[in-house]
Every structure is written in C-alpha cells, then in structure tokens.
Amino acid sequence: MSETLRAVFENGVFRPLRRPRGLAEHRQVTLTVEVAEEASPLSDVAGTLSAADAREMREIIAREFEHVDPREW
C-alpha cells in the first residue's frame, strides 16, 4: 500500500497532518521525504512595480537617506 501524507518535522519527529488510512499503531513504514519549496511572502507582488515607480523610489532613497562611506568606519 502507498499513500502520500503531508507532515511537519518538529522536535526530531515527523508528525503527519492527518491519520494514515489502515495503518496500525507501531507499524514500521518507509518514508520518502520531499521538501516543498516555500513561497516568498513577496512572491505574489513580485514584478508589479513599474520601471518608472522603481526609478522614483531609487531617487527618493538617494535623496532622503544618509550615505555612509565605509572608509570612515
């Protein structure tokens, strides 16, 4: 029998997010772990800034924020 289960790895143990079908307690199984890539919290807004807006933001940052010369440290 084969079943795909989502699980969380915590405290050194895999904890399934739901109970497997037909699996008795203490039964040994073989796990194949596939780590899903986590989406960046900004991935849904990536690429939505126009070139003109990006240019304006760079100009504001250059004008408003202090420039630090690393040689002065």
What are the pLDDT digits (tens) for 12-35? 999 999 999 988 999 999 999 988
Q: Kindly state whether residue 12 falls inside one of the protein's structural domains.
A: yes
Amino acid (one-letter) located at 3: E
Judge whether 25 lies within some domain. yes
In a domain, 40, yes or no: no
In a domain, 54, yes or no: no
Distance CA 12, CA 66 (A): 46
Question: Quick check: is 53 in a domain?
Answer: no
What pLDDT is attached to residue 37? 76
Range of the domain at 21: 1-35
The whole-number pLDDT of residue 38 equals 74
Number of H helices, E strands in the chain: 1, 2
Helix (H) or strand (E) holding 59: helix 51-64
Distance CA 48, CA 53 (A): 10
Tally of domains within the chain: 1
pTM for the predicted model, two decimal places: 0.44
Cα–Cα distance between 22 and 29 in angstroms, integer? 12
Residue 55 lies in a domain: no
Residue 58 within any structural domain of the chain = no
**Tokens matching residue 42:** 């900004």
Instruction: Flag whether 21 is in a domain.
Output: yes
